[in-house]
Amino acid sequence: MKNPEEIFEILKAKFNEVIIELISDKPTESFITVAPLEIDKVCLYLRDKEGLNFKSLMNLSGVDDANGEKIKDENDNEIIQGGTLSVFYHLESIDLKHKVTLKVSTDRENPEVASVEEIWRAADWHEREAYDMFGIKFLNHHNLIRILMPYDWEGGYPLRKDYQNPEFYKGMKVPY
Amino acid sequence: MIYDWLYNLTGSEMIAIGIQSLLPLYLFILPFALVAVLLERKVAAHMQDRLGPMRVGYHGLLQTIADILKLLQKEDTVAADIDKKFFDLSPLLVFAGSYAAFAAIPFSGAFMGSNIDLGIIYIIAVTGLVVAGILMGGWASNNKYSLLGAMRAAAQIISFEIPTLLIVITVIMITGTMNLYTMSEWQTGYFWNWLIMGGPDLGITKILFIPLMVISFLIIFLSTLAEVNRTPFDIPEAESEIVAGYHTEYSGMKFAMFFLAEYANMFAVSAIVSALFFGGYQSPFGYLGNLLEISWLIPIEQFFWFTAKGVFFVLVQMWLRWTLPRFRVDQLMSFCWKYLIPISFVILLLVGLITVL
Amino acid sequence: MALKTEEMVLNMGPQHPSTHGVLRLELVIEGEIIKNVTPHIGYLHRCFEKHCEVMTYPQIIPYTDRMDYLASMCNEFGYVVAVERLMGIEVPERVEYIRVIMAELQRIASHLVAIGTYGADIGAFTPFLFCFRDREKILNLFEITCGARLLYNYIWIGGVMHDLHPDFIRLTKEFIKEFRPNLKELNDLLTFNQIFIDRTANVGILPAETAINYGITGPNLRASGVNWDLRINDPYSIYDRFDFKIPVGKGENGTVGDCWNRYYMRILEMEESLKIVEQAINQIPDGDVSSAIPKRVKPPAGQIYSRVENPRGELGYFIVSDGSVNPTRIKVRAPSFVNMVVFGELCKGHMVADVVAILGSIDIVLGEIDR
């Protein structure tokens, strides 16, 4: 059983430049920030390293940080430019009974994160959902298509803070 | 005999035969289906801690009539791209197949649709029409669920005809006749003359026959159950897997034909089983008519016993249906080919040996 | 000579008797053998997470009811625990007991539906109605507690809506007394029926390693032989005060992790839940149930992942708060959503009838998958 600080130290020793920082302040649970394109390597290490054994991915969640610049577009709708989208990974070891939270932040305009779907198959649908809702592209995901929205939805990514409902979907009026 | 009476009445063989052959349909199959549907719903309800239909008539007695009226009024939905000819023909064929079987079943000593010498073999052959009808309906529906259901039904019914036939041949070897009327008459007297109790001939063979006949009865009951697609063998219409199987696309009266055929079939197989092993229409305790010396009472009593035995087996089928889960298609097949058929072959062989001795 | 065969694509659902809702399964079959299964979900998507972003924290509670509509109390419980952790609220003793009683009764009700519908999937219709008869009694208990039978809005942040009905304890005791023999009857009728065992044992085997990798939780994970229950392994509320066991799959009639084991886990869990309810109603203290309900729910900025053991597995709420009255983001880790991923793997090589058996044994609720 290890607390997040110890896990952070182990990771720091292995991946120096990839691990960015450990954030721990109440009431927020402490989490470790990782570079978006290296998350798969970190996760593989966390899963297979003796003494860490994070065999299970509890949750994977996209978040819109909405920390960019708010501007008005030509239709007078508020859109967000710049800033980041984040993905949180909640990992857990069933045999050692410890948990850790990882966070990656990626550019809002071109959000790309390495996929962990091959490490934990549980991530498959979670990543598809994050793609569906935030448009975060998970590189090397075997089947990154929409999951909850229709497959041919072109109206954007609904859980982004600046999402606007489209007027029409396939000739049907959307706001009813 | 009713035929003679009709012949005297009308003076024409054709009309007499025509009326006689329609009698079971109007006097028996249709009323029986009405009663059986209600009975099934009531039996199921009471097994499941509920009341079943209660609104139409006293305790829902008129529920089936209301249902029939509803089915008559319903639109006959026909999907696009179906094979119309075969689609329409299929329910008729299925119904005809199960109705034709009643022709050779003796309802009482005085009445049977047609006294065919090949009786039992004719019944098994003519119910083969049902398979053709089901396959036709499943294929013509242009629906994958129907197709799967029809394929399952064809495989199942044809497979289970083999143990049925083997047991029937065993019985024919013992009784020496294929005529169900003669067979029933042969088992006359009291219930210890029934074939399940070894038949009327006394001696060592009777004792040897008893265990064999009990097993034969179980085999033929199970395989006929499978032939009429009742739980636990209702795989062709397994509603949790393939919606409604071969009759998924049918509605209104066409659906009602399938429905009617199913209940008619249930009674037909029960009647066959009781004719083969339980003395058919024969009373187990002798006749009140003989005691009181009223000769016209005997056929009525026989009809009562025939119906009672049939309804008893129908009730057993219902009891099984609402108790047991359903087999899977491969388990069903291995049950037939690995257990029922070998066992019935062995019985055939043993009975052959015993009769030779 | 080999006959030419062709693969057939069969669309099972969204309208199908045994897909437990509006799930569409695209089966590629060769005869009756499954070559591939692709689940398509989203037909019941009601934008729960988007709705949450414009609602205050207490307003979200009725919406959590509508996710896993067979286990609404447990959903509320999980959500409320998460918000309370974020805000650091201590709730009164009596409230904790009431919540545990409700959650465990709800677990029994939910498992009864799972078992009953599973029986119906396999073809035995009678157990279905037996289960619903018993579930009805639990729903009556909920009805006298909060007036609703399915969607309760009973467990609030910091407390519960109002105190228990004066008759509740007596009626619950009566229910437990009636229910135990019924459970035995159910076992005789369905669980140890040879046809049922033939249909479910050795079907859809899920090994422990695979289960963990796929994130399977709840009875499905325990059926694979992993001793893991959040009520004991990561205790929340007052579960550490009760004496109960975690049933683990042993493969009595087949292999560990087959459909029969998954089914049987639920029977055993109902017995354990009964034990918890019995202990809780005997120990429940007097007290106030609404003193800790905050006037204004405004958690500090931060984020939390909090989880509870739902009847279907680990229900997690990931809440990101920016310090205002509405959450910035709520992500629900719905157990059925995660459990469903493995479904395609389990079905390969089985028959069409087994698809139904495997789907029923995973016990999904589409309201929760699609949210």
CA torsion, ordered B262, B268, B274, B275, to nearest 10 deg: -170
Phi and psi, residue C261, nearest 5°: -60, -45
Q: What is the 3-state secondary structure (H, E, C) of C112-179?
A: HHHHHHHHHHHCCCHHHHHHHHHHHHHHHHHHHHHCCCCCCCCEECCEECCCCCCCHHHHHHHHHHHH
Nearest chain C Cα distance for residue B68, angstroms: 24
Tell me the per-residue pLDDT of A103-137, one tens digit each, with 9 for 90 and over: 888 888 888 888 888 888 888 888 888 888 888 88
Tell me the mean pLDDT in the region B278-302: 76
Q: Does A59 touch chain C (CB under 8 A)?
A: yes
The confidence band for B109, taking pLDDT boundaries of 50, 70 and 90, is low
Band (B299; pLDDT cuts 50, 70, 90): confident
Give the pLDDT of residue A63. 87
Nearest chain C alpha carbon to A63: C329
Two tokens, residue A6? 């110890």
Query: Do chains A and B touch by CB distance (3+ pairs < 8 Å)?
Result: no
Q: For residue A76, give every residue at least 6 positions away whose Cβ sits within 8 Å of its Cβ, in sequence order, or none.
A: none
What is the distance between the alpha carbons of residues A56 and C215, in angstroms, rounded to a whole number?
6
Q: What is the CA radius of gyration of chain B?
A: 21
Are the beta carbons of B322 and B47 closer than 8 angstroms?
yes
Q: Give the span between the Cα atoms of B211 and A68, in whole angstroms.
A: 87
Question: By mean pLDDT, which of B266-270, B352-356, C116-120 is the weakest?
Answer: B352-356
Task: Report residue B24's pLDDT band, with 50, 70 and 90 as the boundaries.
Answer: low
Looking at residue A20, its pLDDT comes to: 67
With tokens 């009291």, the residue in question is B190
Strands A172-173 and B106-108: what pairing? unpaired
Q: Give pLDDT, residue B3.
A: 66
**pLDDT (average), residues B63-71:** 84
Band of residue B239 on the pLDDT scale cut at 50, 70, 90: confident
Mean pLDDT throughout B55-79? 83
Asked if the model's pLDDT at residue B286 lies above 80, the reply is no
Contacts of C130 in chain B (CB under 8 A): 48-49
Q: Is the backbone peptide bond immediately before A158 cis, with ω within 30 degrees of 0?
A: no
Task: Inform me whether the pLDDT recorded for C134 exceeds 80.
Answer: yes
Cα C250 from Cα C260, distance rounded (Å): 11
Residue A176: pLDDT above 70? no
With a CB-CB cutoff of 8 Å, which residues 100-159 of chain A face chain C? Answer: 101, 120-122, 124-126, 133, 146-150, 158-159
> Residue A126 is which amino acid?
H
CA distance C130 to C112: 9
The ipTM assigned to this model is 0.86
pLDDT at B2: 65
Per-residue pLDDT at A93: 85
Backbone angle region of B38, left / alpha / beta, with phi > 0 → left and psi within -120 to 50 → alpha: alpha
Q: Please tell me the number of Cα atoms within 13 Å of C50 on its side-chain side.
A: 19
Alpha helical stretches, state H, chain A: 4-14, 39-48, 123-134
* pTM of the shown model: 0.86
List, for residues C358-369, the tens digit of each pLDDT value: 888 888 888 888
**What's the pLDDT at A173?**
82
pLDDT single digits (tens) C219-243? 888 888 888 888 888 888 888 888 8
Residues of chain C with Cβ-Cβ distance to A28 below 8 Å are 301-304
Higher pLDDT pick, B293 / C285: C285
Q: What pLDDT, on a 0 to 100 scale, did the predictor assign at position A40? A: 83
Helix (H, G, I), strand (E, B) or coil at C94: helix
Mean pLDDT of B202-210: 78
Nearest chain A Cα distance for residue C86, angstroms: 6
Beta-strand pair A31-34/A99-107: parallel
**C316 contacts in chain A (CB < 8 Å):** 58-59, 90
Section B190-217 average pLDDT:
78
The bridge status of strand C329-333 relative to strand A172-173 is unpaired
The band of B1, judged by pLDDT with boundaries at 50, 70 and 90, is low
Is residue A65 packed enough to be buried (19+ CB in 10 Å), middle (13-18) or exposed (0-12)?
Answer: middle
Concatenated DSSP letters for B13-51?
HHHHHHHHHHHIIIIIIHHHHHHHHHHHHHHHHHHTTS-
CB < 8 Å to C214, chain A = 120-122
Please give the backbone phi and psi of residue B186, each rounded to the nearest 5 degrees, phi first: -60, -35
Q: What is the per-residue pLDDT for C1? A: 57
Count B/C contacts: CB-CB distance under 8 Å.
Answer: 79
Higher model confidence: residue B244 or residue A89? Answer: A89
What structural domains and CATH numbers belong to chain C?
44-370 (1.10.645.10)
pLDDT tier, A26 (very low <50, low <70, confident <90, very high otherwise): low
Domain range list for chain B: 1-73, 76-356
pLDDT digits (tens, 9 = 90+) for B211-231: 888 888 888 888 888 888 777
Mean pLDDT, rounded, for A63-71 = 79
Q: Looking at beta carbons, which residues of chain C come within 8 Å of B326? A: 122-124, 195, 199, 353
Closest CA to B130 of B15, B221, B246, B49: B246
Residue B306 confidence (pLDDT)? 84
Q: Cβ–Cβ contacts within 10 Å for residue B27, how many? A: 12
Determine the pLDDT at residue B25.
64
Q: Return the residue matching tokens 């182990």.
A: A10
φ, ψ (nearest 5 deg) of residue C316: -110, 140
Q: Determine the distance in angstroms separating the CA of A176 from the nearest CA of chain C, rounded to an integer.
A: 15
Nearest to C8 among B48, B144, B327 (CB): B144
Residue C48 pLDDT grade (very low, low, confident, very high; cuts 50, 70, 90): confident
Which residues on adjacent β-strands are paired with residue C11?
C26
